[in-house]
Structure 1
Amino acid sequence: MEIPTNLKHAPVFTVENYDDIDGRLTKEETDTKGLSLGIAQWSKRGNYDVSAKVWRYTGEKWSRQSEELPLHRVLDLAIMIAEAKKYLQEAYQHEKLYDTEQVEIAKVALQGNAMRLGICTNNEHIDEDIKLFNETMRKDDELIGERIQRLKEALKDVL
């Protein structure tokens, strides 16, 4: 399915078969049909930004739930996934899968400051939710691990 080019986000690079590889979802189950990198919809003439977009299709029309993210946020999410995966590898050491006394799990230096990744203890269901998150990460380990490996290879080529 071709990604629309008549909307405000202007695709430059596209993956138009994302529904073939959308994690655990089959082509029939997913509404995510494509990904693109392009000119951000919020750009103004003379002041352009690039963004990544997840294109969702309801079966009848392109969805308003399609998301557009600045590239740095996409990378920040990738960093968060890697840090969470790394943390969960050792989480078994804690009764609740996290240290209730030390809920900050990573401090990633960025832009002269730091992105602080922590356990969301103001989630009233955190004890159950972290177990569910961990179980899902373990169940999807091959799926996520393959993508992390591909990202690692791509990063080696650009750094």
Structure 2
Amino acid sequence: MKIPTTLKHKPVVVSENYEQVDGRYAGSSDAKGLSLGLAQWNDRGKVDISAKVWRYTGEKWSRQSEELPLHRVLDLSILICRTMAHFREAYKYQDLYDPQEPIIDRVGLQGDAMTVAVCTDNDKIKEDIKLFSQALSDDDELIGERLRALSRILKDMGY
């Protein structure tokens, strides 16, 4: 299915077969494509690039399609990686984290640091963290395959 080019987000680089590789939803995903392009929020004289997940309801392009600035996509990747690293060692804690020190990491970015922490404001955190850990474990092969691909690409780019 072709990603629309007449909407506010202007695709430049696309993956129009994303529904075939969308993790556990592959083959039946409503996420039909990914694109990198000119952001829909651009003002005159100011151009931002964004990443977009294009969702299709079967009848029309969905308003639930997401558009993110590229740095946020990378920030989410950092969050995923630090979370996965935490859960590899989480078995050491009775509740899969240290309630006295819920901060997992502080990742230095732009003169400050992005805090990665267990959400202790969640009143069901003890139950939810166990469910999260199990789901992360169940998806280990899917996520690991993507991280290995990303690692290879980053190494090829000199990172």
Distance of 1:154 and 1:52 partners within structure 2: 18
State the TM-score, normalized to the length of structure 1. 0.97
Identity of aligned residues (%): 58
Q: How does 1:89-108 map to 2 (within 5 A)?
A: 89-108=88-107
Distance of 2:151 and 2:103 partners within structure 1: 25
Query: Who is 2:139 aligned against?
Result: 140
For structure 2, which runs of at least 5 residues remain unmatched after alignment? none
Paired letter, 1:4: P
Q: How does 1:10-159 map to 2 (within 5 A)?
A: 10-28=10-28, 30-159=29-158
Paired letter, 1:74: V
**TM-aligned CA deviation for residue 44 of structure 1:** 1.3
SS at match of 2:24: coil
1:101-150 per-position Cα deviation (integer Å, ceiling 9, x unaligned): 00000110000110010000001111111111110111110100000111
Distance of 2:156 and 2:33 partners within structure 1: 24
Paired letter, 1:21: V
Distance of 2:152 and 2:44 partners within structure 1: 36
Paired letter, 2:53: V
SS at match of 2:59: coil
Paired letter, 2:154: L
**TM-aligned CA deviation for residue 70 of structure 1:** 0.2
SS at match of 2:23: coil
1:52-74 per-position Cα deviation (integer Å, ceiling 9, x unaligned): 00000000000000000000000
Pair 1:5-2:5 in alignment:
yes
Paired letter, 2:133: N
Where in structure 1 do 4 or more consecutive aligned residues deviate above 3 Å?
none
Distance of 1:80 and 1:133 partners within structure 2: 14
SS at match of 1:69: strand
For structure 1, which runs of at least 5 residues remain unmatched after alignment? none
**TM-aligned CA deviation for residue 26 of structure 1:** 3.4
Distance of 2:129 and 2:153 partners within structure 1: 30
State the TM-score, normalized to the length of structure 2. 0.97
Paired letter, 1:151: L
Distance of 2:94 and 2:12 partners within structure 1: 48
